[in-house]
């Protein structure tokens, strides 16, 4: 790993070259090319861990596609249990979560079908806990074209891009930050509001020149883990 002697900051390499590049006296993060996005998609299913993710993704995709409605308590429990297990969301009382989904299925199914972000809010508030990440994953597998998955590593890397490329100045979010002091901590906290999170995801997709939501989600997750897994 090379080091800038005068800054003592290491460069971080990726499959298509330096991921962070020097820009004056600071490090500038690169916009991923289509080649980079594709290479990170391949990384998802590479090796032994990749095999496990492939099996998990296939099972969950088929399950949520076959049982799109949440009217059955048994179906809600099965979907919630497998999602919790495969994606390590660490929910202890998963039955209560499934019961909440089933109880609100009439409203929830309509929201999920439309891709309405309120669906995340309905699922995430179960009992005393805020199961935000789980809720976004449940919504994603219910309607992958409309929802993106929130994850702490996704949030960390997305925040870097938001700050570097001033995505808070984009039309769909600029109103939220008109009279506010911009900070990384503030942006990262804002990403726990799902509508704001999705607005920034959409802005990042435009920055990358792609409409493929799954490629973007996957890149932010894997690259985020590579950069931040051992720094938390």
Chain CA centroid to CA 88, Å = 14
Burial of 74 (0-12, 13-18, 19+ CB in 10 A): exposed
Least confident among 2-6, 136-140, 223-227:
2-6
Q: What is the mean pLDDT of residues 157-172?
A: 93
pLDDT, tens only, 109-132: 999 999 999 999 999 987 678 999
Q: What is the pLDDT of residue 211?
A: 95
Q: What is the pLDDT of residue 127?
A: 67
Q: What is the pLDDT of residue 20?
A: 53
Q: What is the pLDDT of residue 172?
A: 80
Q: Which residues of 127-147 are buried (b: 16+ CB within 10 A; e: fewer)?
A: eeeebbbbbbbbbbbbbbebb
Q: At what angle do helices 152-164 and 213-228 cross, to 10 degrees?
A: 100
Nearest to 27 by CA among 183, 164, 139: 164
Nearest to 74 by CA among 102, 107, 46: 102
Quote the DSSP letter at residue 55: H
Distance from first CA to last CA of the chain, Å, rounded? 21
Distance, in Å, from the CA atom of 100 to the CA atom of 122, rounded to the nearest integer, reads 9
Tokens of 104: 């609100």
Q: What is the pLDDT of residue 1?
A: 32
Q: Which residues contact 6 (CB under 8 A, 6 or more apart)?
A: none
pLDDT, tens only, 75-91: 999 999 999 999 988 99
Q: What is the pLDDT of residue 12?
A: 42
Mean pLDDT (the chain) is 87
Q: What is the mean pLDDT of residues 167-176?
A: 86
> Which carries the bigger pLDDT value, residue 65 or residue 16?
65
Q: What is the pLDDT of residue 16?
A: 43
- Domain residue spans in the chain? 1-30, 36-47+148-232, 67-142
Distance, in Å, from the CA atom of 10 to the CA atom of 4, rounded to the nearest integer, reads 6
Q: What is the pLDDT of residue 204?
A: 97
pLDDT, tens only, 3-62: 222 223 334 444 444 455 544 434 578 999 999 999 999 999 988 888 888 999 999 999
Per-residue pLDDT at 68 exceeds 50 = yes
Sign of CA dihedral 183, 188, 193, 195: positive
pLDDT, tens only, 87-107: 988 999 999 999 999 999 999
Q: What is the pLDDT of residue 118?
A: 97
Q: What is the pLDDT of residue 175?
A: 83
Quote the DSSP letter at residue 151: -
pLDDT confidence band for 232 (50 / 70 / 90): low
Burial of 229 (0-12, 13-18, 19+ CB in 10 A): exposed
Per-residue pLDDT at 140 exceeds 80 = yes
Nearest to 197 by CA among 126, 130, 232, 147: 147
């Amino acid at each position: 790993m090379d080091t800038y002697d005068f800054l003592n900051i290491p460069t971080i390499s990726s499959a298509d070259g330096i991921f962070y590049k020097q820009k004056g006296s600071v490090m500038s993060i690169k916009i991923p090319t289509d080649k980079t996005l594709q290479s990170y998609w391949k990384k998802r299913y590479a090796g032994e861990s990749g095999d496990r993710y492939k099996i998990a993704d296939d099972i969950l995709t088929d399950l949520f596609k076959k049982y799109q409605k949440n009217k059955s308590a048994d179906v809600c429990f099965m979907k919630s249990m497998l999602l919790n297990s495969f994606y390590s969301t660490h929910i202890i009382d998963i039955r209560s979560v499934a019961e909440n989904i089933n109880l609100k299925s009439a409203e929830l199914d309509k929201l999920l079908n439309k891709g309405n972000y309120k669906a995340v809010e309905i699922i995430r508030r179960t009992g005393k806990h805020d199961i935000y990440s789980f809720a976004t994953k449940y919504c994603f597998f219910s309607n992958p074209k409309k929802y993106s998955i929130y994850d702490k590593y996704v949030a960390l890397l997305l925040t870097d891009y938001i700050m570097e490329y001033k995505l808070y100045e984009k039309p769909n979010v600029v109103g939220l930050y008109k009279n506010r002091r911009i900070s990384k901590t503030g942006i990262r906290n804002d990403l726990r509001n799902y509508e704001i999170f999705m607005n920034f995801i959409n802005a990042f997709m435009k920055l990358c020149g792609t409409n493929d939501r799954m490629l973007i989600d996957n890149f932010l997750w894997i690259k985020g883990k590579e950069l931040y897994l051992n720094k938390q």
